[in-house]
Amino acid sequence: MATIGSVLKRSLDDRGGEPLLTLDPAFQGLPDTAHGGSVLAAFDALAGIGGPRAVSGVYRKRVPLGVPLALAHAREAEAHAFVLRDADGSVLVDGRVAATAADAGPHAAASARDGHPLPVSRACFACGTENPLGLRVRLAFDDRAVWSAWTPRAPFREPDGALAPAALTTLLDETAFWLGALATGESGMTTDLAVTLHGPVPFGAALTVSGRRAAVRPHADDRRYWDTEVAARDAAGALVASARITFVAVRGAARRLVTGMLAINDADVVRRVFPAYARARA
């Protein structure tokens, strides 16, 4: 059975000297684009730091799937630095992975509550209903938060019995996307991802990921950009991963997204997030 770890390993090729990253279509986020969480997971896998660590990426352009991309990897003091480029040499993502102090944070029990479901898709690595390697997470929201309770699927088991880090980076990134979409009524992309993995997580552990809507803030100089704070906790409430992630709204980008979502989601589910785009199609 293919696992996330084995697929990521196949995605990396350094036989020519400089590594190449060819992301499998299973890692799709928005249509024809790699999920931000999967790109961070590739950086993390190449860095090979096993303990608590900070994994970050600044996304300049969308990252295509199934295309060999040049991945420069350098050591900077105690950190690993990455630059992902397309065939023309344009920078797609600047990344960094560095060890950090262990900090599990305070325990905070996550209580189940009712809310509105967020839309799902067919192919998305996070929420896709037909992605055989995906998380198949179901997120919900109310006026206070975006959240999900998620139990790992078999592809996310590492050989040592731990949860694949890609699950955490993707859960956090997906939650940040919907926090931004709800704040703006627009689709867009996450652009500046700063994730802290606080330690190994046993495979099979139930997790809750969440972000407060009141903590979502626009940039003073450009209101297209919105900062979010998200966290993942285990069943005991211990913090296992956290992030500060910036979402950029792209006016009109939801139009294409909504068309696909309405094919598999109830119109009211889509309309609650993208009212300007779903209203005419409902």
3 state SS of 81: strand
pLDDT at position 4 over 70: yes
- The DSSP H or E segment spanning 165 is helix 165-184
The sign of the CA dihedral 125, 179, 259, 39 is negative
Provide the domain count of the chain. Answer: 2
pLDDT recorded at residue 257: 92
User: How far apart are the C-alpha atoms of 230 and 110, rounded to whole Å?
Assistant: 13
Instruction: Count CB neighbours of 32 within 10 A.
Output: 12
User: Taking a C-beta distance cutoff of 8 angstroms, is the pair 121, 136 a contact?
Assistant: no
Q: Give 149-193 pLDDT, tens digit per residue.
A: 999 999 999 999 999 999 999 999 999 999 999 999 999 999 999
State the pLDDT confidence band at 16, using cuts at 50, 70 and 90. Answer: low
Q: Give 45-79 pLDDT, tens digit per residue.
A: 999 998 999 999 999 999 999 999 999 999 988 89
Tokens of 5: 């770890």
37, 137: one domain: no
- The DSSP H or E segment spanning 259 is helix 254-261
Q: Looking at residue 41, which CATH number applies to its domain?
A: 3.10.129.10
Residue 122 lies in a domain: yes
Instruction: Note down the domain range covering 38.
Output: 4-99
pTM for the structure as a whole: 0.94
Using the 3D structure, point to which of 69, 99, 129 is the last residue of a domain: 99
Mean pLDDT of 16-42: 93
Tokens of 157: 């088991």
- φ, ψ (nearest 5 deg) of residue 244: -120, 120
Residue 222 lies in a domain: yes
137, 243: one domain: yes
Tokens of 65: 């799937």
pLDDT at position 15 over 60: yes
Max mean pLDDT among 16-20, 89-93, 202-206 falls in 89-93
pLDDT at position 38 over 70: yes
Angle of helix 4-11 relative to helix 36-47, nearest 10 degrees?
80
State the pLDDT confidence band at 281, using cuts at 50, 70 and 90. Answer: very low
- φ, ψ (nearest 5 deg) of residue 166: -60, -30
35, 74: one domain: yes
Residue found by looking up tokens 């309770």 in the block: 149
Tell me the residue ranges of DSSP E strands in 118-258.
140-141, 145-150, 188-197, 207-212, 217-218, 225-234, 239-249
User: Taking a C-beta distance cutoff of 8 angstroms, is the pair 246, 192 a contact?
Assistant: yes
User: Taking a C-beta distance cutoff of 8 angstroms, is the pair 248, 231 a contact?
Assistant: no
Using the 3D structure, point to which of 99, 128, 150 is the last residue of a domain: 99
